[in-house]
Amino acid sequence: LQCIMYGPQSRERIQTNTTVGPQYRGLLELVLSSIPITLPCLVFLYINGVMLFTLRSKPVLRETCRYILLYNLLFADDLQLTLSQLLYLLTFRIRLTYPVCGVLIMFSYLLKDISPLTLVVMSLERYVAVCYPLRHSTVVTSRNTAAAIIVIWAFSSLNVLARLVLLLDFPFENLQTLQMTAICTPQAMLLNPVSEQYDKVYHYFLFVSAGVTVIASFIGVTIAATSASTDKASAHKARKTLLLHLFQLGLSLLSTLYGPLFIAISAVVDRIRALHMQTALYVVVVMLPRCLSALIYGIRDNTIRPILMYYLCCQRKFSVVLKEAEV
């Protein structure tokens, strides 16, 4: 009736409004659904960033081997968290192409394996510190630590190279379009049975080996604690640290289950519930494990804690504590 009364211009204006309405609602839905994920991610990135700055702020932190390994762990976690957030926001409304998704997923594979491998080296460092205290200063040096970090990144890079070779073996030329019909996830890039089998075998090998190493280190430290020549306080602290390493390793393993869990949930619930459960899974399974390292070590370590609080909260309030820690 309004179109008849006011003519063609009114009809065009009403059609434009009906077109803009759904687009605006879609944009509003995207913004509102992204806020609960983006804000915690920014907070965690800020805390991790302050922790990284803290680890480079004092010579004692820059030169101690366990803090160098911790820096490597946090650096990889920060990059992984940033990439995961980017993938989450991109795949929420956009269907990527196979090449773009492949590049992002390969970077994700590179960064994801750094955490469990670094935890293994950190566990071995604590084992040597308690069980072989006289040889610790000669075995665990800055040079050996740097070599271990290079080996960690090289091992993770070899995994990416193997996955890339398997991915390029897929006949993409037979596809009508390179546009993906599914969300860009690691599972979506397992395009042939060989890739799926390699993914399972690699993760089984990685986490079983890492778990056995951490548990063996814990047992070795526990046995060494019964010796009269062992520092009881140091052994007790090392056992607690190794238990935390094992807990972090379990969280890293849990993060690999994010894709399969979301796919299984999406198959049995409606779209709205699936999106809500995806958000919860992302926070608990992907985001939280990448942020616990800074909180755990920042709170537990007596050397890091006053410096971290100095930079993180109020510099004036913790300046006295920081001076006491330096003394």
| CATH at residue 135 | 1.20.1070.10
Is the whole model's pTM more than 0.75, yes or no? yes
CB under 8 Å, gap of 24 or more: what pairs does 176-181 form?
A: 178/97, 178/98, 178/99, 179/95, 179/97, 180/95, 180/96, 180/97, 180/98, 180/101, 181/95
137 falls within a domain: yes
Structural domain containing residue 119 = 1-313
Confidence band of 179 (pLDDT split at 50, 70, 90): confident
Query: What are the pLDDT digits (tens) for 90-136?
Result: 766 677 788 888 888 889 889 888 988 998 998 888 888 888 888 88
Distance in angstroms (rounded) separating the CA atoms of residues 77 and 244: 16
Confidence band of 262 (pLDDT split at 50, 70, 90): low
Torsion of CA 63, 114, 313, 240, to 10 degrees: -80
39 falls within a domain: yes
325 falls within a domain: no
202 falls within a domain: yes
pLDDT above 70 covers what percent of the chain? 78
Q: What angle do CA 263, 268, 273 make, to 5 degrees?
A: 85
- Alpha carbon 148 to chain centroid distance? 20
233 falls within a domain: yes
319 falls within a domain: no
321 falls within a domain: no
Tally of domains in the chain = 1
For tokens 């993760």, what's the residue? Answer: 203
- For residues 295-300, average pLDDT: 74
Q: Which of 103-112, 118-127, 238-247, 295-304 has the lowest mean pLDDT?
A: 295-304
